[in-house]
Amino acid sequence: MTSLFKAHELVTGDYKPKHVAVMQPIQKRIRVALAGKIIADSTSVLIMHETNHLPVYYFPFADVRMDLMKKTDHSTY
């Protein structure tokens, strides 16, 4: 199932949203490796397609080797 989220929505008129995000489950196993180490491995990955952005994969925390991650000052919305 695909969920469609509109950042801006009007009930009346011919409004077409300028910002749309679609989140979909991936129907296969996704693995991420870096420097020969598997850092993520999951069958429960979501992919987000968002206006003016490249697709982004979202992994459950439980399926990511968080012990190999480093904290940064970077944040997103």
Q: Where are the domains of the chain?
A: 19-65
pLDDT band with cut points at 50, 70 and 90 for residue 42: very high
Q: What is the pLDDT of residues 9-34, one digit of tens each?
A: 444 455 666 788 899 999 999 999 99
- CA end-to-end span of the chain: 24
pLDDT at 14: 58
pLDDT band with cut points at 50, 70 and 90 for residue 40: very high
Give percent above pLDDT 90 in the chain.
64
